[in-house]
Chains A and B, each alone.
Chain A
Amino acid sequence: MAMVSPATSESKASQTRRPDASDRPDDAIPTRIVLAMQGVTKEFPNGRVALRGVDLVVPEGDFVFLVGPSGAGKSTVIKLLIRDELPTKGLVLLDGRDLGRLKRRDVPKIRRRIGVVFQDFKLLPNKTVRDNVGFALEVTGTPRREIVPAVERVLRVVGLTGQADQLPSQLSGGEQQRTAIARALVHNPRLFIADEPTGNLDPAISWEIIQLLLRINELGVTVLMATHNAEVVTAVRKRVVGLENGRIVRDEVGGAYHRED
């Protein structure tokens, strides 16, 4: 497991002095790794194989688009990352922790290091924007006096300070998604996962959301975004990981949505 040595001072130092691949025969990348999947296969109880031998390494600060047709395995990757499912074979490591060997009571702690947003926002309809965001801190036992400033801070980041007291039904789709993003950020996650975040939004609003995610990435949060939005992926030119039939078929830095041969 040399490739996922936790963020010690040693690995920090090695970040500046990248050794040749020949030094590390096991393809290790000597930098802080937020996420690593190694030989991951996922077979569901009904016999469907969603992922076959997936290897993926995401260093800190990366912005990764996960693309591919429906049923390619994008959702399964996300389910494995938030430890909603366990891999049938292989390893899933988050910040060096093997999710497959995580004790039950440690699962919530690891989830606080991940922020997730979905296509359908998953907001509570009877809570204001402020309370929806604060809810994430409240249910993880954060003292009240710490909740208020933390919520104000993330609302500023997503630009919803003015709408803090509105209910989700009074917001536009883009504002609802920004509320969800604020909630996902409020724990200061190491990894931000967005599952089709623009799926329900029109193109102009989609761009706003992408800009927001890019800004969050600039603030130092690693972002993994599963999407069908070809226009956005091609325009932004970030790392693109393509999944098909449960296999990674390409992994390009600065790639487009479609393969450019």
Chain B
Amino acid sequence: MISFLAFSVRRAWHGYWKNALMSIAATATMAVVLVLLSGLIVLETGLNATLSYVQSEVQVVAYLKDSATEQDAINLETNLQKMAQVSQVQYVTKAKAYQDFLDRHPDEADVINSLPDNPLPASLQINLTDPNDYIDVANYLNSQPAVDHVMNIRQTVDQLNTVIGVLQTGGSVILIVVGLIVLFIVVNTIRLAVVARADEIEIMRLVGASDAFIRWPFIFEGALVGLFGAAITIFLLILSQGPITSFMADYFKVLPIEASTTVGPTIGLIVLGAGVGIGVLGSLLSVRSYLIR
């Protein structure tokens, strides 16, 4: 068994360098594809981070009646915080609302100051874990006597969901299409390498080599193409880590530290797995037709 593995690995290694031009072409193709894949993953990660940021920003705002006491508000706040759908509650008093208004619209200060009383209501600003749970929270709030009315965000949630759905489906479709194209290109490149060694395979069959002895060297060779392709890709990714991180931080809501510690290794693993996987699959498909019928 060990001698078989040694034989296969040795032959794969020799096979790789014997047809160096073909092997390098396959490896380069693999690297291009893996870089493309990494790019897609970066975009997809950024997109998802942005979407979940946007989702976390969806707020239910409940305006309280002027008759509601501070105690009413605090009771409500406590109850809301116990709900699973709620991630965060902020109580905005009448005074705070007034101050916020002045901060946001300094030009309108005269208008609001001309009124006898502060017209702005106190409110509870509620962040949701999932915007789709909006209706549960709204129903609860509407049943409370202290609540004057709940701002209707149904339309916003629906629109957001549509956009998210389209973006995620689109991303997956592009990933699948690119994956298939890549597999096709790599399979064909590896097939060329196998065809170049058709004589050798024929002799192996004639002298009674088992399928395993014919197949495994090519599988290892395919894995080698994937491994080298992945190494090149990961090297390029490390080189461009700085620009990618700042790109993700600037355009998407991904923290730089998160990008380099979480996203980086994940992409590295995916690139490695995809490279070796595609290489092996390509070899299997290419060598299949040469085995015993």
A binds B: yes
Q: Is the CB of B208 within 8 A of A122?
A: no
Please name all residues of chain B whose beta carbon is closer than 8 Å to the beta carbon of A124 when the two chains form the complex. 199-200, 203
Within 132-149 of B, Cβ neighbours of A (below 8 Å) are at none
Asked if A183 CB lies within 8 Å of chain B CBs, one says: yes
Given contacts A107-B292, A124-B199, is CB(A187)–CB(B207) below 8 Å? yes
Pick the residue among B199, B206, B208 that contacts A109 (CB under 8 A). B208
Pick the residue among A111, A143, A144 that contacts B206 (CB under 8 A). A111
Query: In the docked arrangement, what's the CA distance between A105 and B210, Å?
Result: 7
Within 165-213 of B, Cβ neighbours of A (below 8 Å) are at 199-200, 202-211, 213
Query: In the docked arrangement, what's the CA distance between A105 and B209, Å?
Result: 10
Asked if A108 CB lies within 8 Å of chain B CBs, one says: yes
Q: Is the CB of A111 within 8 A of B208?
A: yes
Asked if A211 CB lies within 8 Å of chain B CBs, one says: no
Closest residue to A184 on the B side, CB-wise?
A: B207
Please name all residues of chain A whose beta carbon is closer than 8 Å to the beta carbon of B3 when the two chains form the complex. 141, 143-144
Q: Is the CB of A112 within 8 A of B200?
A: no
Query: In the docked arrangement, what's the CA distance between A112 and B209, Å?
Result: 8
Shortest A117–chain B CB gap in Å is 10
Asked if A104 CB lies within 8 Å of chain B CBs, one says: yes
Asked if B65 CB lies within 8 Å of chain A CBs, one says: no
Given contacts A138-B7, A143-B3, is CB(A122)–CB(B202) below 8 Å? yes
Within 73-102 of B, Cβ neighbours of A (below 8 Å) are at none
Asked if B288 CB lies within 8 Å of chain A CBs, one says: no
Closest residue to B291 on the A side, CB-wise?
A: A104
Pick the residue among B4, B18, B202, B208 that contacts A187 (CB under 8 A). B208
Q: Is the CB of B213 within 8 A of A139?
A: yes
Shortest A129–chain B CB gap in Å is 14
Please name all residues of chain A whose beta carbon is closer than 8 Å to the beta carbon of B206 when the two chains form the complex. 82, 111, 116, 122
Given contacts A122-B199, A124-B199, is CB(A140)–CB(B292) below 8 Å? no
Query: In the docked arrangement, what's the CA distance between A144 and B207, Å?
Result: 17
Closest residue to B214 on the A side, CB-wise?
A: A139
Please name all residues of chain A whose beta carbon is closer than 8 Å to the beta carbon of B7 when the two chains form the complex. 138-139, 141
Fill in one digit per residue for B6-27: 1 if any A CB lies within 8 Å of its CB, else 0: 0100000000001000000000
Please name all residues of chain B whose beta carbon is closer than 8 Å to the beta carbon of A82 when the two chains form the complex. 206
Please name all residues of chain B whose beta carbon is closer than 8 Å to the beta carbon of A122 when the two chains form the complex. 199, 202-203, 206
Closest residue to A142 on the B side, CB-wise?
A: B3
Shortest A191–chain B CB gap in Å is 13
Query: In the docked arrangement, what's the CA distance between A138 and B204, Å?
Result: 10
Query: In the docked arrangement, what's the CA distance between A136 and B213, Å?
Result: 11
Query: In the docked arrangement, what's the CA distance between A183 and B7, Å?
Result: 19
Query: In the docked arrangement, what's the CA distance between A140 and B207, Å?
Result: 8
Shortest B203–chain A CB gap in Å is 6
Asked if A135 CB lies within 8 Å of chain B CBs, one says: yes
Asked if A170 CB lies within 8 Å of chain B CBs, one says: no
Asked if A88 CB lies within 8 Å of chain B CBs, one says: no
Fill in one digit per residue for A102-141: 1 if any B CB lies within 8 Å of its CB, else 0: 0011011111101010000010101000000001101111
Shortest A121–chain B CB gap in Å is 10
Query: In the docked arrangement, what's the CA distance between A104 and B3, Å?
Result: 23
Please name all residues of chain B whose beta carbon is closer than 8 Å to the beta carbon of A105 when the two chains form the complex. 210-211
Please name all residues of chain B whose beta carbon is closer than 8 Å to the beta carbon of A139 when the two chains form the complex. 7, 204, 207, 209, 213-214
Query: In the docked arrangement, what's the CA distance between A135 and B218, Å?
Result: 17
Q: Is the CB of A112 within 8 A of B207?
A: yes
Given contacts A104-B292, A122-B199, A124-B199, is CB(A111)–CB(B213) below 8 Å? no
Pick the residue among A107, A126, A135 that contacts B203 (CB under 8 A). A135
Q: Is the CB of A140 within 8 A of B209?
A: yes
5 examples of A-B residue contacts, CB within 8 angstroms: A105-B210, A122-B202, A139-B207, A139-B213, A140-B210
B residues neighboring A (CB under 8 Å): 3-4, 7, 18, 199-200, 202-211, 213-214, 292
What 7 A-B pairs are tightest by C-beta distance, nearest first?
A: A112-B208, A111-B208, A136-B207, A139-B209, A108-B210, A108-B208, A139-B204
